[in-house]
Amino acid sequence: MNEQRIALRQRRDLSEIIQAAFNLYQQNFAPLFLIAAVVIPLGVASAALQGAVDDSAGAAAAVGGIAILQVGVNLLAGAAIITGLLTIDRSQEPTFSTAYDVAFERFWTLLGGVLRAGIIVVLLLITIIGIPWAIQRAVRWLFVEQAIIIDGSTASESLSRSAAAVEGRWWRTLGVGLVIGIIVTVPASIIAGVFSLAPALVAGTVSSIVNALVLPFAITCMTLLYMDLQVRKESDDRTASDAPA
């Protein structure tokens, strides 16, 4: 399957994370894109409704309902991609059915973990003075999904597991996360801009396909970053335990 096995769990700097994610996606494009493609139909449906419903209030309600469903689908797709990456790491071919079996099995745990983190961050944001703490916690909890799928954490444990990986490397995590976000969003934004004057259905369909194309790369980058942080944390812990009292 792979030209050369790329181990997920190892120390990497930013450029190595991006290169490894690109190579993993390139070598396993078909199965990873197929897993991510489930996000396309709802995006197309949302665009079709915007163009077909004359009542603005009705269209907004319908699009809002689809947006909520889309959050759940994206959560499932992310979990399935992480599962696929773990399968690749075992030198096996990832399959759609196996990846989504795991994603559905862990869905409510995933939803619980993401909601816990999201509600706390939002509550801090709306207080205004809590914005710095919201940002701090958002970065600490970037890897809730990885903690649940890779480490088998519960919803409550996933927040502490993610925070433990980030501990001592908050600024690095923020910086790498921002770069990954820019790499993923800039091409998608450019394409969206090109099709902004096209009919809503065309623009929405293109946007949904682009989102499905970049999702595996983004999830792979963040998963490799999580693995990198864990390896560094374990090395720090060993160094501290070996230090003379």
Domain for residue 209, yes or no? yes
Domain for residue 196, yes or no? yes
pLDDT of residue 1: 46
pLDDT of residue 204: 83
pLDDT in tens, the chain (245 residues): 445 678 899 999 999 999 999 999 999 999 999 999 999 998 887 777 765 655 566 656 666 777 788 889 999 999 999 999 999 999 999 999 999 999 999 999 999 999 999 999 999 999 989 999 999 999 999 999 999 999 999 999 999 999 999 999 999 999 999 999 999 999 888 888 888 777 878 888 888 999 999 999 999 999 999 999 999 998 887 777 666 65
Q: Which two tokens stand for residue 111?
A: 């939803």
Domain for residue 7, yes or no? no
Residues 210-235: b if buried by 16+ CB within 10 A, e if exposed: bbbbbbbbbbbbbbbbbbbbbebbee
CB 216 within 8 A of CB 33: yes
Split into its structural domains, the chain has a count of 1
Task: Quote the longest CA-to-CA distance of the chain.
Answer: 73
Tell me the HSE value of 21 on the side-chain side, using a 13 A CA sphere.
27
Domain for residue 9, yes or no? no
Domain for residue 2, yes or no? no
Domain for residue 6, yes or no? no
- Which residues have C-beta within 8 Å of that of residue 148, sequence separation ≥ 6? 79, 106, 109, 110, 113, 154, 155, 158
Residues 51-60: b if buried by 16+ CB within 10 A, e if exposed: eeeeeeeebe
CB 47 within 8 A of CB 201: yes
Q: CA-CA distance, 161 to 117, in Å (whole number)?
A: 12
Domain for residue 104, yes or no? yes
| CB neighbourhood size of 194 (10 A) | 11
Q: Which domain holds residue 88?
A: 16-237
Domain for residue 203, yes or no? yes
Residue 46: strand, helix, or coil? helix
CB 85 within 8 A of CB 103: no
